[in-house]
Amino acid sequence: MRKTIRGAAALVLGSALAASAVAQPPAPVSPPPTAPVAPLVTPPAKAPEVRPTGNAATVNGKVIPEVAVYRALRQFPEAHREMARKEIMAHLIENALIDEYLTLLKVAVEEKDADKLITDLKKELNDAKKDYGKELEAMMLTEAEFRSEVTAQMKWEKFVQQQGTDAALKQLFDGSPDVFDGTMVRARHILMTPGTDEAKQKDAAQKLRGIKQVVEAEAKKAVDALPPTADAVAKAQASANRTDELFSAYAKEYSTCPSKKDGGDLNFFPRAGAMVEPFAKAAFALKAYEMSDVVATEFGYHLILVTQRRQGAAKKFEDVKEDVRMLYAMRIRESVIAMMKPKAQITIAPK
């Protein structure tokens, strides 16, 4: 659910510099004299990773290789890979559509600028006592693949800079006070993933609406069961407790999101930058212990319950300008994808 957009250069730098940020492990502690010492067992050798072959998808004839999916997928534990693969595939497909759009607009990056970025990267790696070639190899990236990723990222940043004038950023800031004032909400959700089959989509939406109706009816019963002398605070608390209890139980039973183990709890998140826009927009429109209607995103169908809201404080444009710029870039990206995707020829290969 949470968006994780990371450039290729950042991936390599992260791989290279992580070791320097990790604290040294403590010295081993000797066991007491009476403690039995377990015999040393050599762990089995880890099988070397094999670069995947084949294609994961094509977007208007442009190939997304399987290795690009695996490159990101291997960071996730096995239990979460099915969900993560959907997110990764969606992101790579969107990247292909963005790059095609920029090509149509003739947005270009000079080779010397890409060369400079890569040269700077090599220096940073060298300063960290890391080898550029080995880092690319560890990421299953060829030099040509890395240069292509860097160039695509630079094209996008150039386009955003051209579009994101101070006037455009100020207009976004003035029209979105709850985005930049630090307001946070906490929510639970139930995710169903019916895929592209219309009958399954209709069934998933009906199930989610049915859950909402049951939860609302049971919350009302909890309020009606209170003594006549109960005040508004007691009634609100009874409704909230029953809503939270039932929604959590339904999430554990029906949700396909890894958050199901926590009753669908996603903890606190801001208006922008953490969740995909349709989800965030719906969540921030709710009061505490209100449920949304069915919300469709690229991940499936959601039923959302907001459980807490932390109101922020007003900010000055100058203090949050870079945050505004980031949101502006996200909004442009979403607009481009919304324009390009409906007419795109996208073919996803079987896993």
Note the pLDDT tens digit of each residue in 73-125.
Answer: 988 888 888 878 888 998 999 999 999 999 999 999 999 999 999 999 999 99
Task: Flag whether pLDDT at 45 surpasses 70.
Answer: no
pTM metric for this prediction: 0.66
The pLDDT score that the predictor gives to residue 259 is 94
The pair phi, psi for residue 302, each rounded to 5°, is -125, 145
Average pLDDT value for residue range 174-183: 85
Q: Cβ distance 16 to 135 under 8 Å?
A: yes
The pLDDT score that the predictor gives to residue 75 is 86
How many angstroms separate the CA atoms of 334 and 348, rounded?
21
* pLDDT per residue as tens digits for the range 232-273: 999 999 999 999 999 999 999 999 999 999 999 999 999 887
User: Could you tell me which residue, 206 or 14, shows the higher pLDDT?
Assistant: 206
The pLDDT score that the predictor gives to residue 78 is 86
- Look up tokens 């109101």; give the residue: 311
User: Could you tell me which residue, 227 or 45, shows the higher pLDDT?
Assistant: 227
The pair phi, psi for residue 189, each rounded to 5°, is -150, 155
Question: H or E segment at 310?
Answer: strand 300-310
Task: Flag whether pLDDT at 135 surpasses 60.
Answer: yes
Q: Mean pLDDT for the chain? A: 86
The pLDDT score that the predictor gives to residue 76 is 87
Task: Flag whether pLDDT at 296 surpasses 50.
Answer: yes
In CATH terms, is domain 182-310 a member of 3.30.420.480? Answer: no
Token pair for residue 228?
């006549």
Domain ranges for the chain, please list them: 182-310
Task: Flag whether pLDDT at 5 surpasses 90.
Answer: no
Percentage of the chain lying above the pLDDT 70 cut = 87
The pLDDT score that the predictor gives to residue 81 is 86
The pLDDT score that the predictor gives to residue 44 is 57
